[in-house]
Structure 1
């Protein structure tokens, strides 16, 4: 879901890579409708990450090994 930054050898230019196909639209150039769609997707992503985190913490608490379960 999130793009990965990659800088050139001089560190002066950053390109962004993502496994998701489609055109890149800079936030500053996006229409209000595009921003609304992106905000909804980001909120969904945020909720999914929070649920995954809570699940991992709960699983670790049951076994007494929360750090090991979360960080491997």
Structure 2
């Protein structure tokens, strides 16, 4: 994922995912943070960070464009 978006990404550990999701939702619902993105930014990281590999960016962009063409073609068939 990080190479396809060309942005660093963090992935939560599966065991902690539901617990952290409840905390984020409670922080927003309780008024501690106005938005979910701010609530998640204020919490400590819960997973591993993956940084994009700039050497792969061109390949990943090309593959993504192929996916978009395929997806649009499939959408046209179902319309």
TM-score of Structure 1 vs Structure 2, range by shorter chain: 0.3 to 0.5
What TM-score results when the alignment is normalised by the length of structure 1? 0.44
What TM-score results when the alignment is normalised by the length of structure 2? 0.40
Q: Which has the higher contact order (CA 8 A, sep 6+)?
A: 2
